[in-house]
Amino acid sequence: MQSFLEKAKKIIAKNQDVIAVFEELDRTGKFKKRAYKTRVAFTIDEELFNQFRNYCKKNGINMSGKVESYLRDELKNIRKD
């Protein structure tokens, strides 16, 4: 059986985004939105990127939204393992 401390550590690790919101409230006195977007920079194969961009244009898909969807799906798969 898990101790209270072990359970608390597990809950804290799982909910870092919520904790960050309360840390911001404590620091500034205001709630920070949980759904801010952040700009990222990484490199991917140029041909793959061009194919993906063309696919998104042809199908009226927002590239950022599609990448977010892929990331969410990947994280769900990881959590199932």
Express each pLDDT in 44-78 by its tens digit: 999 999 999 999 999 999 999 999 999 999 999 88
**Across the chain, what does the average pLDDT equal?**
87
Domain ranges of the chain: 1-36, 37-81
CA of 44: how far to CAs of 9, 27, 34, 67, in Å?
A: 36, 37, 28, 13
pLDDT attached to residue 34? 61
Domain 37-81's class? mainly alpha
pLDDT of residue 70: 94
Indicate yes or no: pTM above 0.75.
no
Q: Report the alpha-carbon angle 46-52-54, nearest 5.
A: 100
Give the residue carrying structure tokens 């990448």.
Answer: 67
Sign of the Cα torsion 36, 42, 46, 51 reads negative
